[in-house]
Amino acid sequence: MHCPYLGLNMNKFNIENLNLFYGENQALKSICLPIPARQVTALIGPSGCGKSTLLRCLNRMNDLIEGVSINGTLTMDDEDIYGNIDVANLRIKVGMVFQKPNPFPMSIYENVAYGLRAQGLKDKAELDKVVEKSLRGAALWDEVKARLKTPAMGLSGGQQQRLCIARAIAMQPDVILMDEPTSALDPIATNKIEALMESLKKEFTIVIVTHSMQQARRISDRTAFFLMGELVEHDQTHAIFSNPQDSRTKGYVNGDFG
């Protein structure tokens, strides 16, 4: 089966007939989805429909789970990411931010510098530069510039999440995956992260899983709706919310089930 795509060459990822099994249990069923570069794509759908599973396919995090088998095609920049590639390098290019902020038990500065140091960067001036740029990029610099050497654990939840975004940005990825990045945050912290998306997408391709319809509407350019491992519908976000083609999408975005 061929998947019809619009603007093939502008897509960061192309997902074609992707199936994923956890042992016998099929969690993704013949998924066809283009993910355009420098846009925010939201994955929505009820609990257990496969959103996190699909997100993890994009940087091969599912490789770490025993019993997973995958078939189909998934390309990034037209390269098969399930082919013979450097997976560590893929995970640098495709960074990830999780539901619960997970700063390392070290200083704010060291959290952001961590990945660069691991890559062998030692130049203090260069590290300082990247740390500042990344914290600015995550809209956190002004709040922490006077306390960079203090433990990251002393930050509020919302600040910790922005620190995790800064840590991802520091590696200069192409893509940032976010799995319910604001579900553990209060409305003010959520607002800050949402405002940040607008600037992040100028530089990065963002794929976000969210349970909040309002959030998907506010921040995403495109939305994909999943149900029990199937991709029911994907389109421009305004079309999904104002004029869904499938009655199941309509029911979900109207809050009839979920």
Ligand X SMILES: Nc1ncnc2c1ncn2[C@@H]1O[C@H](COP(=O)(O)OP(=O)(O)OP(=O)(O)O)[C@@H](O)[C@H]1O
- Would you tell me which residues interact with ligand X (CB under 6 A)? 22, 25, 27, 45, 47-53, 65
C-beta closer to ligand X: residue 28 or 206: 28
C-beta closer to Mg ion: residue 52 or 161: 52
Site for Mg ion, residues 34 to 73, rule: CB under 5 A: 52
Q: How far is the CB of 52 from Mg ion (least distance, A)?
A: 3
Size of the site for Mg ion (CB under 5 A): 1
Q: How far is the CB of 228 from Mg ion (least distance, A)?
A: 14
C-beta closer to ligand X: residue 47 or 119: 47
Q: How many CB atoms lie under 10 A from the CB of residue 75?
A: 16
Beta carbons of 44 and 252 less than 8 angstroms apart: yes
Residue 9's binding partner out of ligand X, Mg ion, none, with CB under 5 to 8 Å set by partner kind = none
Site for Mg ion, residues 68 to 97, rule: CB under 5 A: none
Residues with Cβ within 8 Å of 57's Cβ and at least 6 positions away in sequence, in order, are 15, 18, 20, 28, 70, 74
Q: How far is the CB of 28 from ligand X (least distance, A)?
A: 8
Q: Within 108-202, where are the H helices?
A: 108-118, 124-137, 141-144, 157-170, 187-200
Closest CA to 229 of 82, 73, 43: 43
Q: How far apart are CA 219 and CA 72, in angstroms?
A: 29
- Does 182 engage in binding with Mg ion (CB under 5 A)? no
C-beta closer to Mg ion: residue 52 or 249: 52
Residue 137's binding partner out of Mg ion, ligand X, none, with CB under 5 to 8 Å set by partner kind = none
Angle formed at CA 12 by CA 41 and CA 36, multiple of 5 degrees: 40
Q: How far is the CB of 47 from ligand X (least distance, A)?
A: 3
Q: How far is the CB of 20 from ligand X (least distance, A)?
A: 8
Beta carbons of 152 and 163 less than 8 angstroms apart: yes
Q: How far is the CB of 211 from ligand X (least distance, A)?
A: 6
Closest CA to 203 of 74, 120, 95, 47: 95
Structure-block tokens of residue 205: 């391709």
C-beta closer to ligand X: residue 44 or 140: 44
Interface ranges with Mg ion (CB under 5 A): 52
